[in-house]
Structure 1
Amino acid sequence: MLTPHILHIALEIASGGIVGFTLGLVGGGGSILAVPLMVYLVGVPNAHVAIGTSALSVSINALVGLAHHARNKTVKWRCAGIFALCGVGGAFLGASLGKAMDGKHLLLLFAILMIGVGVLMIRGRHNTGCPGASCNRQNAPKVMGYGFGTGVLSGFFGIGGGFLIVPGLMASTSMPILNAVGTSLVAVAAFGLSTTLSYMLSGYVNWQLAGMFILGGAIGCSIGTKASRALAGSTGRLTTVFAGLIFVVAAYMIWQGIHQLMG
């Protein structure tokens, strides 16, 4: 007979699997799903602990997903390096600002930001991008600007930033979404580790929970990467899935946030 403790561990691993699957599928959704899963499903009472722990697990799972995408040659390494380097400083700045804010308000603002990103993705879903797109002298300043801005938001909300990085890479370089997904994982890992360090120094990381999420995430990420390649063959389908996931999670977080504020 399964004990409540074993069932709880299984729930943690399954939640990590969901997070890993979305990371492999769309390069984002790691912390956007990890934070509400930790708070509302696993039962982590402190939003800041959920944010710090999710940042660690998502960054490790992003590296697993990156390995899969690298083998499939869907990573634009130069763009990834520029975007990540410019974003790391922004992530430290954003994390410092985020820790000073009430956790309930932080999650509500997070959800509102997600809706805005989702709308932009839906509007551009038929834009297939340029397969040969890369970072050059003309678009490098734009890539750097998007990288720093995304890093600030990533650190502020305690997210890996994939849901912001993917559209940011597409907007600054015109690369297809499949390349943006693979390339984004470099920055997701870098931003997540930066945010983790900041929250870890404040004691906001649950190491046991992070381990379970990483274990489940490694399995889910492998499945998600295969699904991403399959969906990328249909114009706009992967982008629509990406945006749809944003809307569903954002609606749930707004409902929970308003309920907590009113309570």
Structure 2
Amino acid sequence: MLTLTAAQTALALASGGVVGLALALVGGGGSILAVPALLYLVGLSDTHLAIGTSALAVAVNAFANLAMHARQQPVKWRCAAVYAASGVLGAAIGSTFGKLVDGRQLLLLFAAAMVAVGFAMLRPKAAGGDPDVQLNARIFPKLAIFGLMTGLASGFFGIGGGFMVVPGLMAGSGMPMLNAVAASLLSVGSFGFTTAANYAFSSQVHWIAAGWFIAGGLIGGVIGLRLAVHAATRKGLLNRIFAALIFCVAAYIVWRAI
């Protein structure tokens, strides 16, 4: 399928908007909805095509959000670069194995990953940390190991992995969550482009669908950033609602797969 119908185009734009809005409001987990949206709403032909397309869309939106974050607050670039570099290797390996797995089995594993994301979003976020942390010989190996493991999962499932990157950066370096959220976007974008490039090499990226999904995500992200200010006191409620949505979509994927 090289082109999209008018209905599919509208659905790709709307789906991207919902994912971008969710990411801005709850700070993670939204990109995992991209694969089921591309499969069951937009109507892409197979799981691997949806994963490759999703990875590209997630990467572009992550770098766009990184640019906005970098204008508002300092980004721990050295810590972020070590995490991203090791994660890129993991994403290359993970996406290679992902392409080898049967689409139906991959969907079932993807549903399991969605459940893990849902539970991760229900956990209270840790506060504190050292805002002045700098890369050194003590934290370098921890960041590299966490980045490699996160990249493997991100590449295998074709997700951004922000819900894993943020706690990984915090555990590896001791930086506060606010800094970790900004730094995580470098990894999410890098993992996404690595995965997308691997899938594109096998002609498993739908470029037109990705373009519309990206456009919707950028629009949804701008709207979500404005709404996030008013929803700041209700983040816990938003996370619970979004986690419930993820559980429902995971159940639907399992039902469709079996």
TM-score under structure 2 normalisation?
A: 0.87
Q: Tell me how large the CA RMSD over aligned residues is.
A: 2.4
Q: Could you tell which deviates more after superposition, 244-253 or 149-158? A: 244-253
Pair 81,249 (structure 1): closer, same or farther in 2 beyond 3 Å? same
Q: 1:177 is matched with which residue?
A: 177
Q: 1:193 is matched with which residue?
A: 193
Q: 1:136 is matched with which residue?
A: 135
Structure 2: distance between partners of 1:215 and 1:99: 26
Secondary structure class of the residue paired with 2:175? coil
Pair 121,6 (structure 1): closer, same or farther in 2 beyond 3 Å? closer
Q: What one-letter code is carried by the residue in structure 2 that aligns with 1:129?
A: G
Pair 90,239 (structure 1): closer, same or farther in 2 beyond 3 Å? farther
1:52 Cα deviation from its structure 2 partner: 0.3
CA contact (8 A) 2:107 2:257 kept: no
Structure 2: distance between partners of 1:239 and 1:151: 27
Pair 171,111 (structure 1): closer, same or farther in 2 beyond 3 Å? farther
Query: Do residues 73 (structure 1) and 73 (structure 2) align?
Result: yes
Q: 1:257 is matched with which residue?
A: 253
CA contact (8 A) 1:133 1:174 kept: no
1:164 Cα deviation from its structure 2 partner: 1.6
Q: Could you tell which deviates more after superposition, 64-73 or 219-228? A: 219-228
Q: 2:17 is matched with which residue?
A: 17
How is 1:88-107 mapped onto 2 (pairs within 5 angstroms)? Answer: 88-107=88-107
Q: What one-letter code is carried by the residue in structure 1 that aligns with 2:176?
A: P
CA contact (8 A) 2:29 2:121 kept: no
Deviations 1:164-190 (A, max 9, x none): 212222332343333222211111110
CA contact (8 A) 2:129 2:177 kept: no
Deviations 1:5-38 (A, max 9, x none): 4333222111111122233344533530110111
TM-score under structure 1 normalisation?
A: 0.86
Structure 2: distance between partners of 1:230 and 1:86: 37
Structure 2: distance between partners of 1:84 and 1:25: 24
Alignment partner for residue 245 of structure 1, among 236, 239, 242? 242
How is 1:147-162 mapped onto 2 (pairs within 5 angstroms)? Answer: 147-162=147-162
Q: Could you tell which deviates more after superposition, 195-204 or 15-24? A: 15-24
Secondary structure class of the residue paired with 1:256? helix
CA contact (8 A) 1:121 1:167 kept: no
Query: Do residues 82 (structure 1) and 78 (structure 2) align?
Result: no
Pair 57,13 (structure 1): closer, same or farther in 2 beyond 3 Å? same
How many equivalent pairs are there?
Answer: 254
Q: What one-letter code is carried by the residue in structure 1 that aligns with 2:245?
A: V
CA contact (8 A) 2:23 2:31 kept: no
Moved segments of 4+, more than 6 Å = none
Deviations 1:225-260 (A, max 9, x none): 34445655x5xx54664465345214322x223323
Q: 1:44 is matched with which residue?
A: 44
Identical amino acids, percent of aligned pairs: 46
Pair 64,88 (structure 1): closer, same or farther in 2 beyond 3 Å? same
CA contact (8 A) 2:25 2:228 kept: yes
Secondary structure class of the residue paired with 2:131? coil
CA contact (8 A) 2:118 2:247 kept: no
Pair 135,121 (structure 1): closer, same or farther in 2 beyond 3 Å? farther
